[in-house]
Amino acid sequence: MSPHSPQISFSKQFIEKMSQSHKETIEKFTSAVTARHVNHLNEVLAENVEKIENHKVVYNNVKEAREYYSMEHEAHSSVNYKILKYDHQDELNHR
């Protein structure tokens, strides 16, 4: 951090609320994808969302995310997405 960078501190309650909000967003995303409601992804994903797998960009925006999950549903119609592990540290790394 440079000496001129502002420092921001948050209360424990604020961090806990943000953590819960982040977890709820992940849960909504998982529910939307599992229910094949790809048109609702804009409610839980940022417009410039990016997914990377094996060091390759899979999608760069919500439109591409919809297309990606639509193709996944066609290829694997019985797949149900679920959260295997929620890692609070992951949230902190993606702010």
Q: What is the DSSP string of 26-78?
A: HHHHHHHHHTT-GGGGGGTS-TT--EEETTEEEESSHHHHHHHHHHHHHH-TT
Mean per-residue pLDDT, 79-87: 76
- Residue-wise pLDDT for 52-72, tens only, equals 888 899 999 999 999 999 999
pLDDT number for residue 82: 79
Mean per-residue pLDDT, 20-49: 88
Mean per-residue pLDDT, 1-29: 68
